[in-house]
Structure 1
Amino acid sequence: MKSILIYFILITVFTFLCFGYDKQLARKNKRRISERNLFILVFLGGTIGGLVGMSVFRHKTNKTSFILIFYGILILQLVLLYFGFDFLKRFT
C-alpha cells in the first residue's frame, strides 16, 4: 500500500510540473508537450496534479475539447475507483 501511495504522489507532482513546463513553452512559442502525453499522465493517476496545474498556471482552461477529455478521464477514474472498492469489499 505504501508503494501505491508513493507512486500517486510522484505521478501527481510530475504531472503538475509538466503542465507548468508546457505553459512556459507556450509562452515562449516553443515546441510543446502534446495534449496526448498530458492526457496519458492524467490517466495514469496524475489527475490531481493536472487539476492543480491547470488552476495554478491557468493552462488549458479555455480549451473546451481539452477540458471535456480531462473531465471524462476523471469521471472514468472515479467510476473505476468506486467499482474497485466495491469489488474488494465483496472478497475481503
Structure 2
Amino acid sequence: MWIYLLCMNVIGFFVMSVDKRKARKQQWRIPEQRIWLVAVIGGALGCTLGMYMFRHKTKHTIFVFGLPFLSIVHCSLLIYYYIILS
C-alpha cells in the first residue's frame, strides 16, 4: 500500500510539472479531469506539492482548496486505517 501511495504521489507531482511546462510552451495540456483522477486515486499530496512548487493552477479556486482538502482526507483515512483498525 505504501509503495502504491508513493508512486501515485510521484505521478501527481510529475503531472503538475509536465502540465506547467506545456502551459508555458502553449502546447497541448493535460486535462483537468486527469489531474483530478490522479489526485483522487491516491496522488493528492503529490499534486498539491506540485501545484505550489510549480505555481500551477493556483488561480483556480477548486484546485487551491480542493487538492489540500483531498490530501487531508487521504491522510485522515490512512491514520484511521493504521491506528484505529490495526
TM-score for the superposition, normalised by structure 2: 0.79
The letter of the residue matching 1:31 is W
Query: Matches of 2:39 and 2:79 in 1, distance apart?
Result: 18
- Quote how far apart the aligned CAs of 1:59 are: 0.7
Query: Matches of 1:52 and 1:79 in 2, distance apart?
Result: 18
Query: Matches of 2:45 and 2:66 in 1, distance apart?
Result: 15
Tell me if structure 1 keeps the 8 A contact 2:51–2:57. yes
Query: 1:45 aligned to 2:45?
Result: no
Please report the RMSD computed on the Cα atoms of aligned residues, expressed in angstroms.
Answer: 1.9
**For residues 79 and 52 of structure 1, do their structure 2 counterparts lie closer, same or farther at Cα, with a shift above 3 Å needed?**
closer
Matched residues, percent identical?
33
Structure 2: runs of 5+ lacking an equivalent: none
Q: Over alpha carbons, which structure has the higher Rg?
A: 1
Structure 1: runs of 5+ lacking an equivalent: none
- Number of residue equivalences: 86
1:56 alignment counterpart: 53
1:17 alignment counterpart: 14
